[in-house]
Amino acid sequence: MSAEDRRAMITAATLPLVTEYGAAVTTSRIARAAGIGEGTIFRVFTDKDDLLQACLSEAMNPEHVLRELASIPLDDPLTDRLVQAAEALRAHLERMGAVIGALHASGHRRGRAPGDQPAPGGREASMKATHEAVTELIEPDRAALRLEPETIASVFLGMLSPSRPASGQAGPSPQTIVDVLLHGVLAHGAFAAPGSPA
């Protein structure tokens, strides 16, 4: 197994542990979960912080969700396409939030080693790629839509905020989000223009 493959395998085994224990997860627990000796971790990671940074990068990596979005059949009805997209994107956002939240709550502060530079256009490139993928899912129905697919994609992504309402209850389901996006919140005929039939 190459060093790169080993890093990926150890990172994948560590991610659920980071969600559960945050930065307090021990390398011995990680080694058991990965089915390797503890020393193997330090053959491919400089130290535990290097491994935690790899977990953070993996949690934020959009490649998985972009593959899921690309696998949604474009001949499915628009509603079904968007519900599938909402489920995939929400799972990605929740996983990312769980890892970041667990690390932050346990005192880990994201940082780069001296001389490290952020990936060029990292967050912006990820957001652009996600927006393009959602736009592509909407594009087949362009003729039936009042707004451009690009605009609808922006609204849709804005509706997928992972934050919970103040009541503490779960946010709206993907089906509800898509229903509101495509049909609004008004009952049929409500607030008709003056002089027009309700």
| Cα separation, 64 vs 11, whole angstroms | 15
- Whether 124 and 39 map to the same domain: the answer is no
Q: What is the pLDDT of residue 185?
A: 87
* Containing structural domain, residue 33: 1-58
Cβ contact 59:15 at 8 Å: yes
- Whether 154 and 75 map to the same domain: the answer is yes
Structurally, the chain folds into a number of domains equal to 2
Q: Mean pLDDT of successive 10-residue segments in the chain (198 residues)?
A: 91 94 93 94 94 91 93 97 96 89 81 43 81 97 96 94 61 90 82 56
- Whether 32 and 127 map to the same domain: the answer is no
Q: What is the pLDDT of residue 191?
A: 64
- Whether 27 and 66 map to the same domain: the answer is no
Residues 6+ apart with CB under 8 A from 14: 25, 30, 33, 34, 51, 54, 55
| Cα separation, 50 vs 110, whole angstroms | 11
- Whether 93 and 150 map to the same domain: the answer is yes
Cα separation values, 81 from 36, 134, 161, 184, 188, Å: 41, 9, 19, 18, 24
Q: What is the pLDDT of residue 67?
A: 95
State pTM to two decimals. 0.76
Is 190 a member of any domain?
no
